[in-house]
Structures are given as C-alpha cells and as structure tokens.
Amino acid sequence: MRACVLLFSGLMAAGAGMTAVGCSGGEQEIKSIKIGVTVYDQYDTFVAQLMTEFDRYAAIKEEETGVAVNVEVYNAADSQSTQNGQVESMIEEGCNVICVNLVDRTDPTTIIDMAEKSNVPIIFFNRELVEEDLERWEHLYYVGAEAFESGIMEGELAAEAFAEDASLDKNGDGVFQYVVLEGEAGHQDAIVRTEYSVSTIVQNGVEVEKLGYAIANWNRAQAQTKMAQLLSEYGDAIELVLANNDDMALGAIDALKAADIPREEWPAVVGIDGTDVGLEAVKNGEMIGTVYNDKEGQALAMLELAYGLSTGGDLSDLELLEGKYIRLPYSKVTADVVDDYIKNSDAEE
C-alpha cells in the first residue's frame, strides 16, 4: 500500500525530505519522509532502549505503507547548545518533523523559535518541558508518561513487600528505614517520583524513616558510589532503597555486592523503568520490583505522530490530550509477572 494524501498543510509542503509526485485529482503521493531525533545522552539506558523501539517501529511502518521512513538520530551528549545546533542542521536538511529529548527541559526556547520560523513540528519526549513552553506554538507535542503514577506504584510495591515479608524490618521496630537514589536535579521524573513513592508508602499504613538520599543522575556507576557512601554511614540500618530508576537500583545492588553483604541482609531494592537489566534483576530476586515505563508504547506513539505530521495524515486516532500530549500508563512488575514483560520484549524482536 502506498500513502496517497492531500497536500493540505504548509508543514508538509515545507518538507524537503519528502518526495512528492503527482496523483490524480491534485493529490500527492508521499514516497519518503525524514524524521530527525536528538537525544540528551545516547548512553542513558532507558532512552537507548526507547530509541531501539522507535527504529523498529519505523521499519514496520515503512514495510506497511511503502513510504521510506528515514530516521536520523543525534546524540546531544548533555549539551543544550549542541542540541540546538543539531536541530538547526536537521531543519536545514529538510526533516519533516523533529523529535527532541531535551537536555535542559527548562531551556527549549531556541528550538521552539527555530521550529516555528521554519514550520517544522517538534515532538518533545521523555524530558517534559513546562506547559507554557509547549503552548508557545501549535505544532509542539509531548510524548511521555505521568510521573506521579510511577511514584505511586513504586510506593505500593515497597509497602506491599513490607507487609508481606517481616524480615525486611531488620531491626523489628515496625518502621521502614529508607534511602533514596534520585535522578537529575530538576528532572520532572526525579522530583515527582521521590515525593509520591514516599507518600504512598505512608498512605498504605507503613511508617517510614528517611535515613539519607543522594543524587546519582540516573546513572548506575554514580549510584554505586553514592550507595557505598550511604552504606558506610547507615550500614545495616538501611531497610529499603527507593531508586528513581532501574539503573540506579542496579548501582545500589552493585554496591551491596562490592561490600560483600550477604544476600539475606540486603535491604529491599525497588526501581522504575523495566529496562532489560532491570527486569532481569526482578526475575532473579535482587530487586523486589520495578515499575514499567512503557518504552514500546512511547516509541510507537512518537512514530505514529511523526508519521502523521509528516504525511499530513489524520491524527485523531492518536487521541492527543489537549491536542498536544500523549502519555502512556505505567504498570507494576513483581517476580510473579516479570516473565510476561520479558516475553513481551522477546516476542517483539
């Protein structure tokens, strides 16, 4: 099947990466589209896996429609000015739409101004800009999730584990002593996950005591270092590690292993994401659970939106909230259900 759509939008007409040939009745046949992507850090485990899914869905789309879906991915390597330059080049190269995983979610102005001037829509993803910025132009979108939901689920996982396994209350005082490993300061997911995970444990009737916290920037190696420090300070008193993502939960586990702490004395460790390595750690019991951050759903939503915008297609199936947002739900993953998630990713390969 080939896409044969009406050239009704200025956005489409501006797309130099698109080949248009005549069709009957003034319609144009789209033969190819070009989607530009820039990620804040290509070595971020979750973002890397999200991009793998995005490429996979782009290939499926190409197969289904006969339209060549060209995807170009750039790494901003944690520099907002590098990312601004990449967006500028992608616009010059004629990308029909650009997907931006902002380095600094508070600083999208340059990108928005360039996009509006050149009439190229932008799909921001994973690192959420404030609503006022997203409203600055009609062709700005956001694909991600609702951060508070992941915090609530992480808190529920911890509270359920405490209620079910008395051995987690190592000192038997009826209080869950915890430490938090936080993502980047200022990232919407870090702030909100920490707040909601703790308040949910309390709402579920479990008394908590915060021993300490550390910022580990989503990063496994940094989390290992920070957890080693927390262990030297609080040692055996730590009963729970609430990590804002799986990579940091795994860094905490690396620290427990490096300190030769016997497995039965480990605190409960809980994460968020359900990355491949995270799911593996839930399966082998090193983590009590994780919260699935639906990278497949987010990647598919981004691809469908990018395709629709590039071809002037109908966006109504995408059910955009306020005409701009797509948010995929999270889900809880414990050892009982982890195989469904591992199987899912195997089945889709």
Q: How far apart are CA 20 and CA 24, in angstroms?
A: 13
Q: How far apart are CA 16 and CA 61, in angstroms?
A: 20
Output the CA torsion 50→56→59→61 (10° steps).
Answer: -70
Q: Which one of residues 96, 293, 298, 311 is an interface residue with ligand BGC (CB under 6 A)?
A: 293
Q: Which stretch binds ligand BGC (CB under 6 A): 40-48, 74-82, 172-180, 221-229?
A: 40-48
The contacts of residue 296 (CB under 8 Å, 6+ apart) are 53, 344, 345, 348
The helix or strand, by DSSP H or E, that contains position 94, with its residue range, turns out to be: none
CB of 166 to ligand BGC, least distance (A): 31
Nearest CB to ligand BGC, comparing residues 239 and 294: 294
Evaluate whether 282 touches 349 at the Cβ level (below 8 Å).
no
Nearest CB to ligand BGC, comparing residues 5 and 272: 272
Per CB under 6 A, does 272 bind ligand BGC?
A: yes
Residue 22: how many other CB atoms lie within 10 Å: 9
CB of 174 to ligand BGC, least distance (A): 31
Nearest CB to ligand BGC, comparing residues 272 and 338: 272
Structure tokens that stand for 138 in this block: 């009609």
Q: Which stretch binds ligand BGC (CB under 6 A): 9-17, 43-51, 106-114, 309-317?
A: 43-51
Per CB under 6 A, does 46 bind ligand BGC?
A: yes
Helix (H, G, I), strand (E, B) or coil at 331: strand
Per CB under 6 A, does 218 bind ligand BGC?
A: yes
Q: Which one of residues 53, 133, 154, 273 is an interface residue with ligand BGC (CB under 6 A)?
A: 273
In angstroms, the Cα distances linking 182 to 147, 162, 202, 230, 311 are 14, 21, 19, 13, 40
Q: Which stretch binds ligand BGC (CB under 6 A): 39-47, 73-81, 170-178, 232-240?
A: 39-47
Where helices occur in the chain by DSSP H, the ranges are 10-14, 45-65, 80-92, 109-118, 131-134, 147-164, 188-203, 220-234, 246-258, 276-283, 295-311, 338-347
Nearest CB to ligand BGC, comparing residues 182 and 239: 182
Q: Which stretch binds ligand BGC (CB under 6 A): 5-13, 41-49, 155-163, 195-203?
A: 41-49
Q: Return the residues of window 219-248 that contact ligand BGC according to CB under 6 A.
A: 245
Evaluate whether 189 touches 244 at the Cβ level (below 8 Å).
yes
Per CB under 6 A, does 54 bind ligand BGC?
A: no
Q: Which one of residues 53, 156, 182, 189 is an interface residue with ligand BGC (CB under 6 A)?
A: 189
Per CB under 6 A, does 126 bind ligand BGC?
A: yes
Evaluate whether 245 touches 269 at the Cβ level (below 8 Å).
no
CB of 98 to ligand BGC, least distance (A): 18
Helix (H, G, I), strand (E, B) or coil at 252: helix
Evaluate whether 111 touches 129 at the Cβ level (below 8 Å).
no
Q: Which one of residues 34, 127, 220, 226 is an interface residue with ligand BGC (CB under 6 A)?
A: 127
Per CB under 6 A, does 200 bind ligand BGC?
A: no
Per CB under 6 A, does 292 bind ligand BGC?
A: no
Q: Which stretch binds ligand BGC (CB under 6 A): 44-52, 63-71, 281-289, 323-331?
A: 44-52
CB of 1 to ligand BGC, least distance (A): 35
Evaluate whether 296 touches 346 at the Cβ level (below 8 Å).
no
Residues of this chain that bind ligand BGC (CB under 6 A): 44, 46-47, 126-127, 189, 218, 245, 272-273, 293
